[in-house]
């Protein structure tokens, strides 16, 4: 039985939300770099098989090759290395709320880099998100504002990397399909991650637990490859604007799953900061038609990108 497209999109965002918890579990036994390698070796293999079945690999010019390389560096290699470093230091639920800053950062990046003009309510959304970020990053101790820790800063690095990725993807998608862009970025990112891992010379533990193995499998197969397929089908069926609305659920799922499965406490400041970030994202992405065009995240974790509209 074929699932309704709205349910497919909800499942995709829930899968992306689950990557925060799965990553938090995996980095308890493996290094952040090893987890990133495992995730994208699995995901890239699946995406290449899908690519061979659905499309032929296009002939790329030098500019397109450079864009795919830049996407692999920013959105796959650096993003995921920082992502798993962050998850090794802070709770998954907190990380999900920090990553919710992605759409705000992308809007600012587009305004600065490409000259996109932000409307007054979008600037208000940016301001609201930044206030929420200050509360969120300073809420490491219950009831008091503190300076952000290294884990928080690693996740902020993720936000910056994803902003660069999204702006490069906008250019790449003018001449390449979303599947080609995503698969190409994953190939470059995987090569860079594996090369860095080999250079470090870190061996995998011989007593890898079933829980860690399952977490890596989830990250690569469920939280990346399957989520991409479900979301891509949603874009095809509903359009990028309506499908993009579901992306705002990723930090909600991420925080909820972390709190439920890992018993992670959320302080009042963390909750207030996270809600302000989400409210700012919702306000800042409202379009005149009333549709909210959220930037694709994969978060999340999956590096899916929308066509430039």
CA–CA dist 64, 84 (Å, integer) = 29
Helices (H), 138-221: 150-172, 178-200, 210-217
Residues 6+ apart with CB under 8 A from 237: 5, 243
User: Is residue 8's pLDDT more than 60?
Assistant: yes
Cα→Cα distances 71→75, 189, 200, Å: 5, 8, 23
The whole-number pLDDT of residue 6 equals 82
DSSP letter, residue 202: P
The predicted model scores a pTM of 0.81
CA–CA dist 39, 45 (Å, integer) = 10
Instruction: Select the more confidently predicted residue: 282 or 171.
Output: 171
Helices (H) and strands (E) in the chain, counts: 14, 0
Tokens of 120: 């007054």
Contact status, residue 32 vs residue 88, Cβ threshold 8 Å: yes
Band of residue 13 on the pLDDT scale cut at 50, 70, 90: confident
Residues 6+ apart with CB under 8 A from 288: none
Instruction: Write the pLDDT tens digit of every residue in 73-86.
Output: 999 999 999 999 99
Beta bridge partners of 292: 286
Q: What is the mean pLDDT of the chain?
A: 81
Beta bridge partners of 51: none
Band of residue 269 on the pLDDT scale cut at 50, 70, 90: confident
User: Is residue 307's pLDDT more than 60?
Assistant: no
Question: Minimal CA–CA distance to 86: which of 96, 77, 76?
Answer: 96
Residue linked to tokens 């919702």: 282
DSSP letter, residue 141: B
Beta bridge partners of 141: 144
The whole-number pLDDT of residue 30 equals 92
The whole-number pLDDT of residue 139 equals 58
Instruction: Write the pLDDT tens digit of every residue in 83-121.
Output: 999 999 988 888 888 887 777 787 778 777 777 676 777
Q: Which of 34-43, 124-133, 163-172, 259-268 has the highest mean pLDDT?
A: 34-43
Contact status, residue 3 vs residue 11, Cβ threshold 8 Å: yes
């Amino acid at each position: 039985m074929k699932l309704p497209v709205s349910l497919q999109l909800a499942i995709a965002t829930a899968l992306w939300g689950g990557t925060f918890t799965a990553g938090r579990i995996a980095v308890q036994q493996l290094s952040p770099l090893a987890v990133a390698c495992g995730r994208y070796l699995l995901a890239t293999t699946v995406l290449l098989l899908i690519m061979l079945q659905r499309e032929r690999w296009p002939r790329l010019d030098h500019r397109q090759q450079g864009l795919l390389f830049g996407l692999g560096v920013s959105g796959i290699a650096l993003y995921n290395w920082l992502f798993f470093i962050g998850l090794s230091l802070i709770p998954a639920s907190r990380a999900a709320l920090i990553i919710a800053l992605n759409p705000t950062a992308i809007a600012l990046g587009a305004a600065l880099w490409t000259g996109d003009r932000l409307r007054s309510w979008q600037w208000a959304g940016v301001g609201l998100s930044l206030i929420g970020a200050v509360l969120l990053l300073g809420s490491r101790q219950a009831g008091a504002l503190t300076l952000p820790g290294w884990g928080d800063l690693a996740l902020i690095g993720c936000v910056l990397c994803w902003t660069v990725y999204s702006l490069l993807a906008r250019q790449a998608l003018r001449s390449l399909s979303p599947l080609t862009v995503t698969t190409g970025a994953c190939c470059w990112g995987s090569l860079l991650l594996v090369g860095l891992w080999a250079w470090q010379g870190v061996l995998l533990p011989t007593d890898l637990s079933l829980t860690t193995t399952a977490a890596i499998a989830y990250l690569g197969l469920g939280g990346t490859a399957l989520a991409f397929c479900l979301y891509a089908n949603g874009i095809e069926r509903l359009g990028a604007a309506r499908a993009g609305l579901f992306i705002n659920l990723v930090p909600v799922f991420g925080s909820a799953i972390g709190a439920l499965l890992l018993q992670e406490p959320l302080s009042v400041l963390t909750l207030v900061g996270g809600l302000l970030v989400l409210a700012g994202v919702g306000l800042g992405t409202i379009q005149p038609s009333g549709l909210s065009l959220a930037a694709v995240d994969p978060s999340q974790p999956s590096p899916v990108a929308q066509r430039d509209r």
